[in-house]
Amino acid sequence: MTQSGSTAAKPTVLIVDDDGVNRTLLAELLHEECRVVLAKDGSSAIGRAQAEAEIDLILLDISMPDMDGYEVLKRLRWIPATKRTPVIFISAAIEAESEERGLQLGAVDYVHKPIRPVIVRARVRNHLELVTHRKELERLADRDGLTGIANRRRFDEAYDLAWRRASRIGQPLNIAMIDVDHFKRYNDLYGHVAGDEALREIAQVIDRYATGTWDIAARYGGEEFVLLLSGEVAFGAILSRLHGDVASLRLTFDHSGGDDVLLATVSCGGVTAITRTIASPSALLREADALLYQAKREGRNRVLV
């Protein structure tokens, strides 16, 4: 994710209110710290949510002509950008029941109208801070600690999504299992610290091949990586290039021995499939794995597709 300039880093807040004066008031209160998106009723709120990649916080009026705030909240939960976005109800309704109902529906807060600007701004800040913490935790949960690329957990999620999308639109998926050759020996010869550094460098090479929105490279475990590319690609040629890139790293460790040089290489097993013809995501992975093991048996340091 790029964060060029201060506007890119601003959180996005969706303000939904049928009263233009309220919308303007709230927008003016928040526009310095937030990117504000406005909606004048339930259906335009849903439209805005569908058009946005991510919304960080929602300020939601309850009493509106087309659809009340409770209903809007329920519908926003079906939209990816607002599925888990915290909602603050802002309402003139002072009965405890309205507040109870809002909080029971999962709103994080309830603010009474007429609003007190200092309080609204403080509550918005507090909730946005929680959003930042949550995102940071999610980012950490998705990354492999050693190499910084996606971990197995993240891969499983992305693979599942890519599989369903590929089935829907009838596009092929390409998947490769990539394993470092004789890595136990590499560790024995150069030590674990050098081994770790080699894994980091190899991971970076593999990661550069995942360029599309639906592509992902991940550390699958130990010294094994997985690369998923969506759509029609010359997969064999891509894997050959990747295999060559790893070899050109010339990963050795400067040790005194001299003659006993071992370069780190990888073996790859790659398959391309139309998902409809393969029973399941795990069956496709097993096919890639079988080719990887065949590559190992045939002498390692090669690509089989």
Task: Give the range of 139-147, 217-225, 241-249, 272-280 binding Mg ion by CB under 5 A.
Answer: 217-225
Whose Cβ is closer to ligand GH3: residue 46's or residue 199's?
Answer: 199
Q: Which stretch binds Mg ion (CB under 5 A): 37-45, 72-80, 141-149, 179-187?
A: 179-187
Burial of 263 (0-12, 13-18, 19+ CB in 10 A): middle
Check binding of 300 to ligand GH3 (CB under 6 A): yes
Give bridge partners of residue 302 from the DSSP assignment. Answer: none
Partner in contact with 18, chosen from ligand GH3, Mg ion, none, beta carbon below 5 to 8 Å by kind: Mg ion
**Residue 183 interacts with Mg ion (CB under 5 A)?**
yes
CA quadruple 218, 286, 247, 232: dihedral sign: negative
Radius of gyration of the chain (CA): 26
Binding residue count for Mg ion, defined by CB under 5 A = 9
Q: Using the minimum distance from each CB to ligand GH3, give the nearer residue, 138 or 196.
A: 196
Nearest CB to ligand GH3, comparing residues 83 and 185 = 185
Q: Count of CB atoms within 10 A of residue 219's CB?
A: 26
Stretch that binds Mg ion, among 6-14, 67-75, 139-147, 219-227 (CB under 5 A): 219-227
3-state secondary structure (DSSP) of residue 149: coil
Residue number, 63 or 167, with CB nearest to Mg ion? 63
Applying the rule CB under 6 A, the residues between 160 and 179 that interact with ligand GH3 are 179
Q: Give the list of residues 6+ apart from residue 213 with CB closer than 8 angstroms, or none.
A: none
Chain centroid to Cα 296, Å, comes to: 32
Interaction of residue 182 with ligand GH3, rule CB under 6 A: yes
Residue 222 binds ligand GH3, judged by CB under 6 A:
yes
Total count of residues recorded for the chain: 305
Amino acid at 126: N
H-helix or E-strand containing 50? helix 42-51
Figure out which of the listed residues 44, 63, 204, 240 binds Mg ion, where binding follows CB under 5 A: 63
CB of 185 to ligand GH3, least distance (A): 6
223 scored as a contact of ligand GH3 (CB under 6 A): yes
Residue 249 in tokens: 């790293």
CA distance 288 to 279: 14
d(CA 302, CA 295): 6
Catalytic-role residue among 52, 54, 157, 223: 223
Alpha helix locations (H) across 77-174? 96-104, 117-142, 152-169
- Please provide the DSSP assignment of 198-243 as one string: HHHHHHHHHHTT--STT-EEEEEETTEEEEEEESS--HHHHHHHHH
Of the candidates 102, 135, 111, 117, the residue with the CA atom closest to the CA atom of residue 11: 135
Known catalytic membership, residue 197: no
- Pick one of 56, 144, 179, 207: the residue that binds Mg ion (CB under 5 A): 179
Task: Pick the binder of ligand GH3 from 88, 150, 199, 227 (CB under 6 A).
Answer: 199
Taking CB under 5 A as the rule, does residue 61 contact Mg ion?
yes
Beta carbon nearer to ligand GH3, 101 or 200: 200
Name the residues that contact Mg ion, by CB under 5 A.
Answer: 18, 61, 63-64, 179-180, 183, 223-224
Residues that are catalytic: 223
Q: Which residues bind ligand GH3 (CB under 6 A)?
A: 146, 179-185, 187, 192, 195-196, 199, 222-223, 296, 300
